[in-house]
Amino acid sequence: MSIRYLVKQAFAAFTTDCFAHVFGTFVRPQLESAIQAWRPWAANDINILEKVQRRATKLVLGHGAQPYETRLSSLNLFPLRYRQLRGT
């Protein structure tokens, strides 16, 4: 089972604050685990990782129909490729 599925089953709905805590605790560490060592070079690998964050941000109440970039800015998140470049 995926972490995203388990989180979705555990929480009926996410507010912006709740999402930030849950995503930062359970999902993001899985996506960024040793990213500097195995850095995904292929565009397909990057898209697979980004897809997880894209789908997770749709779980927040009132944000599901917004474009991905709008969801990221309203949730104070960055695309994973930016975090990979920063190294954090």
Can you read off the two tokens belonging to residue 7?
């989180």
Output the average pLDDT for the chain. Answer: 78
Confidence of residue 70 (pLDDT cuts 50, 70, 90): very high
**Sequence letter at residue 87:** G
C-alpha 2/C-alpha 21 separation (Å) is 18
Q: Which residue has the higher pLDDT, 48 or 88?
A: 48
Cβ atoms of 65 and 6 within 8 Å: the answer is no
pTM of the model: 0.71
* Domain layout of the chain by residue ranges: 3-86
- Residue 40 is given by DSSP the state -
